[in-house]
Amino acid sequence: MSLRLRLTLWYAVVLAAVLLMVFFSLQRFLNSWLLAEVDSRLESYAQEISSAISTSRAEGGATYQRVVRSIAREGFGAVPLFARVVSPDGEMVAFTLDMPTEFAPPDREALARVVSQGPFFDTGRARDGGELRLYSVPLEEGGRVNMVVQVGESLRAVASAITKLRQILIVASVVALVAAAMTGYLLAWQGLRPLDEVVALAEAVRGNQLGRRLAKKRRPAEVQRLADAFHSMLERLDQAFQQQRRFAYDVSHEVRTPLTALRGQIDVMLLDPDLPSGVRASLQRMAQECSRLIRLTSNLLLLASQEGGRPLNLARVDLDDLLIEVYQEAKVLAQDHVIRIDEQDQVAVRGDRDLLKQMMLNLVDNAIKYTPEGGTVILFLGRQGTWARFAVQDTGVGIAPEDLPSIFKPFYRARQPQRGRGGAGLGLAIVDWVVHSHHGQVRVESTVGKGSTFEVLLPLSESSLQQPSTESDAADSPALPTP
């Protein structure tokens, strides 16, 4: 679950809890207030009836019934109050006309409580199923309680008011929760947007792009501290990567010079016709190892240049001329292999000549490494639509399917039972970098035990596009053909 959604849910949960507390508090307050109003009204009318009965009795005037109904006609019209006068043993002496539909029969226990303890309020069930608020007052004559005045009022109005309040609060709560959830999500999105910028930069940064920084903005203090810490980390990483690149570049440069001199000395020694065969074979092996080390240091230099953002020296490059040079060097590198050119066309591209030659040499060298002695390495150069196509096919050990997605990663070495001589895992990484820096494509097909075919497609230069092609120009994005 995302942080935005979690914050939104927390907003909603907290607001729901607050609204629930407010809901119950308001409901309880309104119920207490309305009940107090009812009690005040009941107490007032009960005292009025008691006073009227006492006055009438002292004057020998109207009976209980006339007094109760007279007061009911005068003061009970606006509010549905009900009154009755009962004896302590439960006999009704006087009552309002509509009382029987509301009041339950007198409760002797309640009457006994009034006689012994005095006036009190009680809430009971009315005959119609609703609640009824009842106030009982004792009437004394001659120092003893001989009658009880009971005034009641239905609580339907109170229940109706509470129900309406509950409905209003429920609707308001739902609206408030929806509004709070939307507002909370917007606030969370607004507050966390600076974090998205940090995440986007972290995802976009590569080893040769550690100089990128977030644009300076006024961010929340917490996010700004994170951005500052991230910038500091990028600076430390940039320094570490620069030191690593400088080290690789310096070491490769320093090692390649004596290796080149050593290879030259060995070549001079091999020119001696009087060398014993054993010595000549040893010198030839030494020359091959020197060549391999020179290629390794060259690849390290190129890798350091790639990570340092080396600019390309773009110019027109005739790939057919490069093919001849690569073929000549391959003949020297692989005297125990059959090296041949099966297809050669005059094609030119716009690119860096040194890098393109290194790319072709790396593919040929890779094919030789993984092809047993006596095997065949075939070179192809031609046009395929708007692309220049260079391919290297070998009859080597092949590449396992699980290794194919990773062979162009730096320092990756396939785990095969029959590896050949192998290398440091830099050659194909250099190939991938050179091809993609020239806006090309590199593809591979391989079968374990039968060999591999590497194909490079580079955009033709404008001059080559104007020349007639021996193949169809419709294949602007061709599938990998089988040479």
Check whether residue 455 and residue 355 sit in a common domain: yes
Q: Is 336 among the domain residues?
A: yes
User: What is the reported pLDDT for 482?
Assistant: 43
Q: Within 10 A of 381 (CB to CB), how many other CB atoms are there?
A: 24
**Residue 469: in which H helix or E strand, if any?**
none
Instruction: Give the pLDDT of residue 445.
Output: 92
The pTM of the whole model exceeds 0.85: no
Using N-to-C axis directions, what is the helix angle for 221-270 and 277-307, rounded to 10°? 160
Q: For the segment 310-328, what is each residue's pLDDT rounded down to a tens digit?
A: 667 788 999 999 999 999 8
E-strand ranges in 96-198 read 120-125, 131-141, 144-154
Buried b / exposed e across 408-447, counting CB within 10 Å, b at 16+?
Answer: bebeeebeeeeebeebebbbbbbbbbbbebbebbbebbbe
**Domain match, 306 and 321 both:** no
203 domain-assigned: no
The angle formed by the CA atoms of residues 100, 103 and 48, to the nearest 5 degrees, is 100
Helix 427-437, helix 277-307: angle, nearest 10: 40
Residue 66 covered by a domain: yes
Query: Residue 443's pLDDT is what?
Result: 92
- On whether both 298 and 318 belong to a single domain, the answer is no
Whether residues 294 and 330 fall in one domain: no
pLDDT < 70: residue spans in the chain: 1, 57-62, 72-80, 97-104, 126-129, 204-220, 222-223, 241, 244-254, 256, 300, 302-311, 413-425, 463-483
Verify that 298 and 393 share a domain, yes or no: no
Q: Which domain holds residue 272?
A: 219-310
> What is d(CA 198, CA 224) in angstroms, rounded to the nearest whole number?
10
Say which CATH number the domain at 422 has.
3.30.565.10
The reply to whether 228 falls in a domain is yes
User: Which amino acid, residue 347?
Assistant: V
Could you say which of 284, 310, 336 is where a domain stops?
310
* DSSP conformation class of 445: E
For the chain, how many structural domains are there in total?
Answer: 3
**pLDDT digit string (tens) for 178-231?**
888 888 888 777 777 777 777 777 776 665 556 666 666 656 676 677 777 777
Say yes or no: 363 and 259 in one domain: no
Q: Are residues 47 and 99 in the same domain?
A: yes
pLDDT at 216: 63
The residue to which tokens 């949960």 are assigned: 13
- Do 443 and 345 fall within a single domain? yes
| Residue at a domain's end among 145, 160, 175 | 160
Which CATH number does the domain housing residue 60 bear? 3.30.450.20
**For residue 38, what pLDDT is reported?**
87
CA gap 35, 37 in Å, rounded: 5
Q: Is residue 482 part of a domain?
A: no
Both 356 and 457 in one domain: the answer is: yes
Residue 183 lies in a domain: no
CB 343 within 8 A of CB 372: no
- Residue 182: name the closest of 4, 373, 386 by CA: 4
Based on the fold, state whether residues 325 and 443 are members of the same structural domain: yes
CATH number for the domain spanning 241: value is: 1.10.287.130
**419/328 same-domain check:** yes
Residues 6 or more apart in contact with residue 145 via CB below 8 angstroms? 88, 114, 115, 138, 139
What residues contact residue 331 under an 8 Å CB cut-off, 6+ apart?
339
pLDDT of residue 476: 43
Shared-domain flag, residues 451 and 386: yes
Determine, yes or no, domain membership for 177. Answer: no
Compute CA 33 distance to the chain's CA centroid, rounded to the nearest angstrom.
52
Last residue of a domain, one of 262, 293, 310: 310
